[in-house]
C-alpha cells in the first residue's frame, strides 16, 4: 500500500503542479481571459473539494483503492485535454475534471494511510508522502523550464497528462488491499466526539486560504517580487519540505499532536502579524518559506483523529473533513479581498486571530 500511495501521490502532485504552472500563461495568452474569469475558475477549482463527502457514496460501489486509481485517471485526463479546449467554457470543464481527480485522490489517500498504517507509523508515512510530493514539484518545475521553449501548450499538457494517465492505469490493475483491514462505514458520519477534529480542520482550511489568496499577492504587489524570485522561493520551499516533512512526522510520533500543533499555531501568530508589519523584502520572503513549511504540520490533525476515532469511521470522516476544510475556500478569498481594499494588513491580522483561536483549541487535544 505504501508503494501504491507513493506512486499516486507523485502523480497527483505532479499533475496539479504542471496545471498550475501552465495555467496563467495559457489562460491569458491563448484563451485571452481577464482577471474576473481567472477568479471564477479558481473558485470552480475548489468545488470538488467542497463535494469530497460524496466519496462516501462512491465507495459503496467501488473499492477505495480503486477510487484512488480512477481519481488519478480523471486528473490525468483533465490535464491532458486542457490544451485542446482554448476557451472559457473549455477551461472551466477541464479544470473541474482535473480538480475532481485531485481532490478525490487526496480524500482516499488520507483515508487509506490512516487505515493501513498504525498510530506509530502513519505520521511518518504522511510526512514521507509529503516529501515525495515536494520532490515531484521540483522535478515538474525543472522539466517545464526546459521543455516549454520547444513544445506548445497542447503538447506540454498532453505530455504530463499522459504520464499521469499511465500511472492511473497501472494503479487500477494493482491490488494493495488487505482483507483484514476494518471495513469502513459507507455513510456520512458526524459524531459529537469528533467536534474538535472538525473545528481544527475548518480552521486549517481558513488559514490555508489566507496564505494562498494573499501571501504571494503581497509579495508581488507590495514588495515587487518578480516571476524569477517567486520561482526561487517555490523551489526553496519544496527542497526544504523534501527533507523536513519526514522529520515532522517523526516529531508527531515523539512529542504528540498537541505539542506539534501548538508550535505551528504559535509560530503562525508571529508570521501573520509580521506579514502585516514588516517592510523588508528579505524578511517577507523568509516569512513565505516559513508559512509554507507549516502547511505540513496539518498532518497532526489527521493523526489525532486516528487516535480518537473508530477505525470504521476513517473513510467517511476523512471525506467529511475534506469538505469542511474547503468551506473556507468558498467564502474567505472574496471576503478577504474586500478587507484588503480597506487595508492590506487586515487579512493577515485576521489570520493571526484565527491562529490564536486554533492554538487555544489544540490545548483540548487528549489522546
Options 3.30.390.30, 3.10.20.880, 1.20.1250.20, 1.10.287.130; CATH of 192-362? 1.20.1250.20
- Position 146 scores a pLDDT of 85
CA 91 to chain centroid, in Å, comes to: 21
- Position 39 scores a pLDDT of 64
- What is the C-alpha separation between 358 and 366, in angstroms, rounded? 15
- Position 129 scores a pLDDT of 94
Any idea which residue has 504540520 for its cell?
297
Residue boundaries of the structural domains of the chain: 2-172, 192-362
Asked if the 2-172 domain carries CATH number 1.20.1250.20, the reply is yes
Indicate if 192-362 has the same CATH topology as 2-172.
Answer: yes
What is this structure's pTM?
0.86
Note down pLDDT in tens along the chain; length 367 residues. 999 999 999 999 999 989 988 887 788 788 887 766 766 777 788 888 888 888 888 888 899 999 999 999 999 999 999 999 998 899 999 999 999 999 999 999 999 999 999 988 999 999 999 999 999 989 988 888 888 888 898 999 999 999 999 999 999 999 998 888 888 887 888 888 999 999 999 998 888 878 777 787 788 778 888 767 877 888 888 899 999 999 999 999 999 999 999 999 999 999 999 999 988 999 999 998 998 888 889 899 999 999 999 999 988 898 888 888 888 766 776 676 677 777 888 888 988 999 999 999 999 998 7
357 close to 231: Cβ distance less than 8 angstroms: no
- Position 248 scores a pLDDT of 93
- Position 322 scores a pLDDT of 83
* Burial profile 312-345: b = 16 or more Cβ within 10 angstroms, e = fewer: ebbbbbbbbbbbbbbbbbeebbeebeebbeeebb
Amino acid at each position: 500500500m505504501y508503494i501504491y500511495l507513493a506512486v499516486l501521490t507523485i502523480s497527483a502532485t505532479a499533475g496539479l503542479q504542471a496545471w498550475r504552472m501552465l495555467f496563467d500563461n495559457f489562460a491569458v495568452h491563448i484563451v485571452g481571459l481577464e482577471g474576473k474569469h481567472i477568479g471564477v475558475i479558481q473558485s470552480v477549482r475548489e468545488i470538488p473539494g467542497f463535494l469530497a463527502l460524496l466519496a462516501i457514496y462512491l465507495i459503496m460501489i467501488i473499492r477505495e483503492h480503486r477510487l484512488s486509481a480512477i481519481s488519478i485517471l480523471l486528473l490525468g485526463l483533465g490535464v491532458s485535454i486542457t490544451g485542446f479546449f482554448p476557451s472559457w467554457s473549455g477551461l472551466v470543464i477541464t479544470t473541474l475534471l482535473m480538480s475532481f481527480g485531485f481532490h478525490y485522490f487526496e480524500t482516499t489517500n488520507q483515508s487509506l494511510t490512516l487505515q493501513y498504517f498504525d498510530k506509530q507509523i502513519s505520521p511518518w508515512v504522511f510526512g514521507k508522502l509529503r516529501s515525495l510530493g515536494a520532490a515531484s514539484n521540483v522535478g515538474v518545475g525543472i522539466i517545464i523550464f526546459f521543455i516549454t521553449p520547444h513544445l506548445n501548450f497542447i503538447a506540454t499538457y498532453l505530455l504530463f497528462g499522459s504520464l499521469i494517465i499511465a500511472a492511473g492505469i497501472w494503479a487500477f490493475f494493482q491490488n494493495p488491499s488487505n482483507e483484514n483491514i476494518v471495513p469502513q462505514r459507507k455513510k456520512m458520519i458526524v459524531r459529537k466526539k469528533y467536534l474538535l477534529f472538525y473545528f481544527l480542520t475548518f480552521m486549517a482550511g481558513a488559514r490555508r486560504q489566507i496564505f494562498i489568496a494573499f501571501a504571494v499577492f503581497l509579495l508581488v504587489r507590495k514588495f515587487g517580487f518578480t516571476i524569477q524570485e517567486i520561482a526561487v522561493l517555490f523551489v526553496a520551499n519544496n527542497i526544504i519540505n523534501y527533507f523536513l516533512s519526514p522529520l515532522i512526522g517523526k516529531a508527531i510520533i515523539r512529542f504528540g499532536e498537541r505539542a506539534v500543533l501548538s508550535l505551528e499555531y504559535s509560530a503562525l501568530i508571529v508570521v501573520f502579524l509580521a506579514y502585516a508589519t514588516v517592510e523588508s523584502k528579505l524578511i517577507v520572503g523568509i516569512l513565505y518559506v516559513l508559512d509554507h513549511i507549516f502547511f505540513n504540520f496539518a498532518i497532526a490533525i489527521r493523526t489525532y483523529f486516528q487516535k480518537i476515532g473508530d477505525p470504521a469511521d476513517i473513510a467517511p470522516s476523512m471525506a467529511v473533513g475534506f469538505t469542511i476544510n474547503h468551506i473556507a475556500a468558498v467564502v474567505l478569498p472574496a471576503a478577504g479581498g474586500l478587507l484588503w481594499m480597506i487595508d492590506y494588513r487586515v487579512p493577515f491580522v485576521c489570520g493571526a486571530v484565527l491562529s490564536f483561536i486554533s492554538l487555544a483549541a489544540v490545548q483540548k487535544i487528549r489522546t
